[in-house]
Structure 1
Amino acid sequence: MSESLLNAAAAKFDQAEVYRIESESHPVSFESNKLKEIMRRDTSGVALRVIDDGRIGFTSTTDASREGELVDRAAALAPFGSEASFSFPAPSEYPTVDIVDPGVPHVAQQAMIDTGQGLIERLLDEWPDLLCDARLGWATGRGRIMNSAGIDEEYEQTSYYCSLGAQLIRGTDMLNVWAGYGSSHLFGDDELDRLLQTVRRSLRWSKETAQATANTGDLPVIFTPRGVGATMLHPLLSGFNGKNVANGSSPLGERWGEKIVDERISVYDNPLIDGASGSRPFDDEGVASRKLALIENGVAGGPLLDLQTAGQLGKSSTGAAGRGLASTPSPSSSVIDIAAGDTHFEDMIAGLKEGLVVEELLGAGQGNELGGDFRANVSLGYKIENGEIVGRVKDTMISGNVYNVLSQVEHLGDSSDWVFGSMRSPAMQVLGVEIAAKDE
């Protein structure tokens, strides 16, 4: 069917592309200590993108019986589409990346139920008043890209994931903690134990509450790997998004090759890491994947580009196109990998007379993200006094600018942890974060 659709479109338009996906997922979820649901989801569909008289036509469907309508629909839409700044790419060499585990589709529902129940029971042994949620599952997917320039490629991917959350209500105080991990490969007891220990650590650190100290930026703040992702990742990546670069809204538009943060900071978009959830041999336009240095030793490398934004900037695609079935491609990250440093996380805490640890935010995204700003309430954070965690902070807000904060790095953790399966980061101790705290 894909071949006949491409042939029909190629005969009618200057250029054509067919994008087809199929997926099967099997989630199991627990809520408030009990099994909530067992499901199976199947998704399939096809998208047609064409270039006709220099304009882009796009349409898609999940109804196989209506695929024959796509050519006429694309013809009707193309005159109103965006101006194309690219041509569809020709075939090329693609890297090999290990993102399929044949054991994943053989994971039984009962095994996932037993795993979820076991994790919850181990938490309840220590905290019997907890309300625990868990979500486990596996999925398989296949993507195929074909175009009139000769590309006809596909790849398969498997995924396996587990997340564990706990809620503790004490009077008017509500504590929520969670941890999660995902991979293209099956994982076992070691990874599950790390999830459990992460949740346990958060619960233990939260037994007491503490008053955060309001500060204008000279109090050290330690971001855990999850804290890095929750606070700094989105405002940082917005500056590297090719759309923002092309329309002139990125603060990095003229700063490629310049030092923008501390020289110890290196951030890569790397879809070639075996087992990572976002890894892939080529992007959603058929451009070969490669490791891209967004920041290397503090210096801005280059933006994330798909075909359209690359054409607008007079550059080549970096293989960063992502898309949903119902949307045209746009630049996006695949697997963010932040280089580690040389300081133990525990030593960061032990070395501070006073400080703040940030793990989770509530309402992230406030402020001018395009300019690198962040501003949000701390939903999970801890106060440090005399080298020890003394309790969880409440009614605390942090704000700052990611470029300013990453230029005031004091320490980087000596190991990187996965935040689910698409980001790997060390802990970071920084200055430059403003802290606002409500008086008790």
Structure 2
Amino acid sequence: MTVETDPLVLIQDLVERALKAGADSADAVAGLSTSISHAQRLGKTEKLERQESQDLGLRVLIGKRQAIVSSNDWKPDGLALLVERAIAMAKTVPEDSFCGIADPDQIVGDNYPKLEMFDPQEPSAETLIARATETEDAALAVAGITNSEGAEASWGQSRIALAASNGFAGRYQGSNHSIAVSVLAGTGTAMESDYDYSSAIFGSDLTDPVEIGRSAADRALKKLGARKPPSAKVPVVFDPRVSGGLVRHLTSAINGAAIARGTSFLKDKMGQAVMSSGITIVDDPHRARGLASKPFDAEGLANKRRNLVENGILQTWILDLRAARQLGLTSTGHASRGTSSPPSPSTTNLHLETSTVSPTDLISDIKSGFYITSVMGMGVNMVTGDYSRGASGFWIENGQIAYPVNEVTIAGNLMDMFLAMTPADDLDFKYATNAPTIRIDGMMVAGT
């Protein structure tokens, strides 16, 4: 392939040009993507689009100064201008004593794993239309469903290439299929809406469209007649649809960038109990058909499955090279980046491991409590751990789901919440971050 058509060859050439132009070191990332999306409402097409894009980013370092320039112009003249601008910028920006690419002995080399991340079967537009139609029709066929907010089906693929002056050169490709629908139940001011969706690397792994449609309808119908519960301090149970958010709050608090800035409520908790005994949280970049899998990190370092929390004990920060240098540690292979920004720490496929308790048993002894199916708002303070969000779901009475509730606020502190967590056994790998049903005792619920 020519330099113009092979993204890895292209960015290797770009790095060489940067070095010849005066850079002490450099790296570059390139991405090409193709996607098709279809949206419809009540059987009528609202969107059918195909998009193709390409982008690349060049990072150059001169001493302890770095600059990043991105472009979707891959023509020779455009690339020459990209190098020129990056070098000029790097000569003028302030120094950053912690920036820099990996040393040659840190990179993974060319023996990185080949992961199951790409479905070579591109669906036709007709296939996507059929998926959306089946999903919406199944939902509308359920008695009590009165309207549709629309159904969508999409597919996309991407190719990523990374090269650096330390000798690293690697590439991988991924794909994604998805279907979704949102419908309304009831009439007038008593209407309620809900949705369901499925997303997978391989089209064959998608949940059946009819099942998705019926599930969305069932969720909407169950919300009819919602009311506010009494304000109280009660056990709160997070449905798997929302429990993964608690895991993401934990990983935000142990992100190396936040730890280096001292802006995390867990900044002094390494090696200590930060969650209840028995809880283990895993980050696995190599999980087969994982929605966030990748064979190496964005700095060319090896990545691997890690227990971030094991039996409640915090095991590691989430580190890229810069955060690791700030903390006097070694990168954990968690660098992520786009084409227009430097690497930063980020997780991949996350999950909280299960217990042996069923969701039914988890709530069986709750005399009065709140089962949450959706949360809203951004009331989470990562410096203090204070947590306050809007929520809706169902009220629990005597170990049973009693009635739907909405317009509720839940509040607590993440440190206390983590230490009070009890997971169930219903883990399902549906998202990039997954957790089973989770119970937390003693949270404040503000209703009537």
CA contact (8 A) 1:251 1:371 kept: yes
1:328 aligns with 2:359: no
Q: Could you say what secondary structure the match of 2:161 adopts?
A: strand
Q: Distance in 1 between matches of 2:352 and 2:214?
A: 23
- Note the C-alpha offset of 1:27: 1.3
Once the two structures are superposed, residues 168-220 of structure 1 have per-residue CA deviations (whole angstroms, 9 ceiling, x without a partner) of 4633345231222322222357454553454244224213324312113xx11
Q: Distance in 1 between matches of 2:286 and 2:193?
A: 34
Q: Could you say what secondary structure the match of 2:67 adopts?
A: strand
| Correspondence for 1:195 among 212, 229, 248 | 212
Gaps of 5+ in 1: none
1:184 aligns with 2:198: no
Aligned residue type for 1:402: L
Q: Which residue in 2 is equivalent to 1:75?
A: 87
CA contact (8 A) 1:210 1:390 kept: no
Q: Which residue in 1 is equivalent to 2:164?
A: 147
Q: Distance in 2 between matches of 1:10 and 1:155?
A: 25
Q: Which residue in 2 is equivalent to 1:4?
A: 13
- Note the C-alpha offset of 1:350: 4.1
Aligned residue type for 1:116: A
Q: How does 1:79-228 map to 2 (within 5 A)?
A: 79-89=92-102, 90=104, 91-92=107-108, 93-103=111-121, 105=122, 107-126=123-142, 127-168=144-185, 170-188=187-205, 190-192=207-209, 195-196=212-213, 198-216=215-233, 219-228=234-243
1:398 aligns with 2:410: yes
Q: Could you say what secondary structure the match of 2:199 adopts?
A: strand
| Correspondence for 2:30 among 1, 17, 20 | 20
Q: Distance in 1 between matches of 2:97 and 2:136?
A: 52
With over 3 angstroms needed to count, the CA separation of the structure-2 counterparts of 1:163 and 1:372, relative to structure 1, is farther
Gaps of 5+ in 2: 1-9
Output the TM-score relative to the length of structure 1: 0.91
With over 3 angstroms needed to count, the CA separation of the structure-2 counterparts of 1:151 and 1:188, relative to structure 1, is closer
Q: Which residue in 2 is equivalent to 1:317?
A: 331
Q: Distance in 2 between matches of 1:36 and 1:180?
A: 18
Aligned residue type for 1:303: W
Q: Could you say what secondary structure the match of 2:151 adopts?
A: strand
Q: Which residue in 1 is equivalent to 2:6?
A: none
With over 3 angstroms needed to count, the CA separation of the structure-2 counterparts of 1:64 and 1:113, relative to structure 1, is same
1:41 aligns with 2:51: yes
With over 3 angstroms needed to count, the CA separation of the structure-2 counterparts of 1:370 and 1:357, relative to structure 1, is same
CA contact (8 A) 1:120 1:132 kept: no
Q: Could you say what secondary structure the match of 2:170 adopts?
A: strand
- Note the C-alpha offset of 1:354: 2.0
CA contact (8 A) 2:11 2:162 kept: no
- Note the C-alpha offset of 1:222: 0.9
Once the two structures are superposed, residues 48-101 of structure 1 have per-residue CA deviations (whole angstroms, 9 ceiling, x without a partner) of 111112111111111223222122211222131551425423342423321112
Q: For structure 1, which segment, 148-157 or 421-430, has the greater mean C-alpha deviation from structure 2 after superposition?
A: 421-430
Aligned residue type for 2:117: I
CA contact (8 A) 1:238 1:370 kept: no
How many residue pairs end up in the alignment? Answer: 429
CA contact (8 A) 2:265 2:382 kept: no
Q: Which residue in 2 is equivalent to 1:50?
A: 60
Q: For structure 1, which segment, 63-72 or 108-117, has the greater mean C-alpha deviation from structure 2 after superposition?
A: 63-72
| Correspondence for 1:282 among 288, 296, 303 | 296
Q: Distance in 2 between matches of 1:43 and 1:159?
A: 16
| Correspondence for 2:436 among 419, 426, 436 | 426
Q: Distance in 2 between matches of 1:101 and 1:371?
A: 43
Q: For structure 1, which segment, 264-273 or 197-206, has the greater mean C-alpha deviation from structure 2 after superposition?
A: 197-206
Q: How does 1:296-311 map to 2 (within 5 A)?
A: 296-311=310-325
Q: Could you say what secondary structure the match of 2:160 adopts?
A: strand
1:361 aligns with 2:375: yes
With over 3 angstroms needed to count, the CA separation of the structure-2 counterparts of 1:427 and 1:192, relative to structure 1, is farther
Aligned residue type for 1:244: A
With over 3 angstroms needed to count, the CA separation of the structure-2 counterparts of 1:372 and 1:174, relative to structure 1, is farther
With over 3 angstroms needed to count, the CA separation of the structure-2 counterparts of 1:86 and 1:194, relative to structure 1, is farther
Q: Could you say what secondary structure the match of 1:377 adopts?
A: strand
